[in-house]
Amino acid sequence: MKRIAIFSSGSGSNFQAIVDAVQSGELDASIKLLVCDQPDAFVIERAKASGIPAFVFRAKDFESKDAFETAIHEELVLHGVEFIVLAGYMRLIGSTLLEKYATNIVNIHPSLLPAFPGKDAIGQALQSGVKITGVTIHYVDAGMDTGPIIEQECIRITKDETKSSLQEKVHRIEHGLYPRTLNTLFQTS
Ligand code: GRF
């Protein structure tokens, strides 16, 4: 059973979907740790409610990215983490963690990459006028949402689509796709 850490900076609905999938037996993994860079994030409450330990930090309390990633790495080792799942973690992973975890870091992004990388992918898709967008799960490399694609699912943008209605569709897809894709990945690696 894969020992994973989930990194999140916000509400953590994907964190919750992964927790629920582990509890229901849909996802064969053990969630060892939440890593969160925002002390007020709601995801911390979700971790508490599920009895999952959290490492919460503020980047500005450290001298450099290398310094906070070294602190994160110590926690990951302490909890025996083998695999990192990014779920709304609003920072680029730096060389310190990339070197240690190499191909064992994945991310979920709310667009069909390589379209609309970076922030506000949902807003970018709406603005652009595309009729199809979606969700991508990919390996993480040093770039912004550039690593090899693992899985994608499409979403149709309707005529009267708003940002919040599209966000809702994206979340609904993400909450099924992420646990399913992780499970397939863990069964084959
Ligand atoms: C998700 O839409 C994910 O694709 C993106 O950030 C959002 C996080 O949402 N990377 P939540 O915190 O899991 O609710």
Q: How do residues 159-183 score in pLDDT, each as one tens digit? A: 999 999 999 999 999 999 999 999 9
Q: Does any domain span residue 43? A: yes
Query: pLDDT band at 27, cuts 50/70/90?
Result: very high
Structure tokens at 19: 């927790």
Question: Is residue 75 scored above 80 in pLDDT?
Answer: yes
Confidence (pLDDT) at 166: 98
For residue 189, pLDDT over 80 is answered with: no
In this model, does residue 78 exceed pLDDT 90?
yes
* Active-site residue (options: 73, 79, 109, 175): 109
Ligand 1 centre and the CA of 107: distance in Å? 10
Task: Please indicate whether residue 109 is annotated as part of the active site.
Answer: yes
- For residue 124, tell me if it sits in a domain: no
- From edge to edge, which strands make up the β-sheet containing 149-156? 54-56, 29-36, 2-7, 83-86, 105-109, 132-139, 149-156
Q: Which domain holds residue 8?
A: 2-110+138-152+170-188
CB neighbours (10 Å) of residue 65? 16
Residue 79 C-alpha from the chain's centroid: 19
Our count of domains for the chain comes to 1
pLDDT > 90? residue 56: yes
Is 93 a member of any domain? Answer: yes
For the chain, percent of residues with pLDDT exceeding 90: 98
Strand partners, 155: 133
Average the pLDDT over 57-63 and give the result: 98
Q: Whose CA is nearest to atom 9 of ligand 1?
A: 88
Cβ burial of 131 (10 Å; 0-12, 13-18, 19+) is exposed
The pLDDT of 110-119, averaged and rounded, is 97
Question: Does 9 have pLDDT greater than 90?
Answer: yes
**Pocket lined around ligand 1, Cβ cut-off 6 Å:** 8, 10-15, 87-88, 108-110, 170, 174
> pLDDT category, 131, cuts 50, 70, 90?
very high
Kindly report the average pLDDT of the chain as a whole number. 97
Residues 124 and 108: their CA atoms lie apart, in Å, by: 16
pLDDT at 60 over 90: yes
Q: Which of 84, 108, 164, 177 to mutate to test the pocket of ligand 1 (most atoms within 8 A of CB)?
A: 108
CATH number at 73 reads 3.40.50.170
Residue 115 lies in a domain: no
Q: Is residue 159 part of a domain?
A: no
Task: Give yes or no for residue 146 having a pLDDT over 90.
Answer: yes
Q: 102 or 86: which carries more pLDDT confidence? A: 86
Q: With cut-offs at 50, 70 and 90, classify the pLDDT of residue 188.
A: confident
Let me know if residue 50 belongs to a domain.
yes
**Confidence band for 136, pLDDT divided at 50, 70 and 90:** very high
Other Cβ atoms less than 10 A from the Cβ of 139: the count is 16
Residue 133 lies in a domain: no
Whether residue 117 lies inside any domain: the answer is: no
> What stretch of H or E contains 35?
strand 29-36
Q: What's the average model confidence in pLDDT over 4-27?
A: 98
